[in-house]
Amino acid sequence: MTPRTSGRQAKIRRVALSTGGGDAPGLNAVIRAATLAALNRGWEVVGIRDGYNGLFLPEQYPDGGLINLTRARVRGITHMGGTILGTTNRGNPLHYPMVDKQGRAYEKDRSNEVLRAFRREKIDALIAIGGDGSLAIAHAFAEKGLRVIGVPKTIDNDLEHTVVTFGFDTAVSFATECLDRLHSTAQAHKRIMVVEVMGRYAGWIALNSGISGSADAILIPEIPYELNKVAEKIAQRDRMGRTFSIVVVAEGAKPIGGEVSVLSKELGRADRLGGLGERVARDLQALTGKEARAVVLGHLLRGGSPTTFDRLVALRFGAAAVRALAEGQSNVMVALDPPIVRYVPLKKVAGRMKDVPLDCDTILTGRELGICFGD
Ligand code: F6P
């Protein structure tokens, strides 16, 4: 569907904002910029609590599932982590988890109920801030006639057609700081420190923090690894008198011919990844005879204040989303394409993933620095 133009559309009076999936530093900055840009156009702005739950499961919200977003409500939130709207990575309305009379679990498409709720609440347009899952939902709503603008969010940076997502810079900066701190304790104890970072099926966080934080080995999903190669690298360092090593593993990395480490599976939500750091530490200890410890950075990467870079991208995205609606666009995502923010059809993004290209210069840089990728 090509973006629609303003001439044929009814005036926007009320716009809704929703944040879905895992939180990322910068969400509140988007909310503030979009709210102010919309209020300045004379539109009313509401925030939907917890993804779309506040709208289509009103019984769960005795105080109301919608938050009236006023200037006062979005004051002083640019630097705050989390989201004032709340979020969820369960209960995708397109695949809503249900239980039948026999107690069997199944998934149901409840998107029409959500669309009815949008009409009931007289919401003319939606700004959906989320990752691949949330943008796929937004795309489905747009295809069914709702005016929708997507805003790409994820610390994982795994969304297509935007140079970067906000939240990523904050996550990488914090992971790098942790790697800096781990060097001294690794060196003092002559240990291997294995640091597991988030990222789902993409290695962006591991790669960028590992290179910036002087890791000796980096394992990412895009390069299935052979642990012997990492053990060889550690032994080589030992021979040179470098008796400690830092190994960064992306949670979604896997050995050649092996599987991704999944902690749990649940109907209606993405698999929970994790556990690889412990496994790699145990196996490297066995292979090298050196003491190894695993550190899981996990949700620490999603917390805290967004970096200046993430704040600015998030503020630009929020304002650009409202500008897109004012221009009559729909079914598009705002995307960073320096020096500009442009619009990309949601169908080009929904359900797609951007992984690390094997020939990118960041990987080449790592190789030239002597970092082992387990291949
Ligand atoms: O997509 C963001 C992310 O932080 C991933 O890196 C991670 O696998 C996932 O969310 C964890 O989500 P949660 O623990 O909140 O279910």
Q: Can you tell me which atom of ligand 1 is nearest the CA of 89? A: 16
87 lines ligand 1 (CB under 6 A): no
Tell me the domains of the chain and their CATH numbers.
7-166+306-348 (3.40.50.450), 169-302 (3.40.50.460)
> Going by CA atoms, what residue is nearest to atom 2 of ligand 1?
22
Strands (E), 25-146: 44-48, 66-68, 96-99, 105-108, 125-130
Confidence at residue 4, expressed as pLDDT on a 0 to 100 scale:
44
pLDDT on residue 39: 98
User: What pLDDT, in 10s, does the model give residues 27-84?
Assistant: 999 999 999 999 999 999 999 999 999 998 989 999 999 999 999 999 999 999 999 9
User: What's the confidence (pLDDT) of residue 140?
Assistant: 95
> What would the pLDDT profile of 159-175 be if each residue is shown by its tens digit?
999 999 999 999 999 99
Distance (Å, rounded) from C-alpha 256 to C-alpha 247? 17
Catalytic center residues: 156
Tokens 């970067």 sit on residue: 164
Residue 273 beta carbon below 6 angstroms from any ligand 1 atom: yes
Q: In terms of Cα–Cα distance, which of 97, 105, 96, 93 is closest to 130?
A: 93
Report the chain's terminal Cα–Cα distance, integer Å: 42
Ligand 1 in reach of 199 Cβ (< 6 A): yes
Q: Are 265 and 218 in contact (CB under 8 A)?
A: no
Mean pLDDT per 10-residue section of the chain, whose length is 375 residues: 51 96 97 98 97 92 96 98 94 88 91 94 97 93 96 97 97 98 98 98 98 98 98 97 98 96 83 96 98 98 97 98 97 97 95 94 98 98
Q: From the centroid of its chain, how far is CA 236?
A: 36
Whether 153 is in the pocket of ligand 1, judged by its Cβ within 6 Å, is no
Q: Are strands 192-197 and 340-345 parallel, antiparallel or unpaired?
A: unpaired
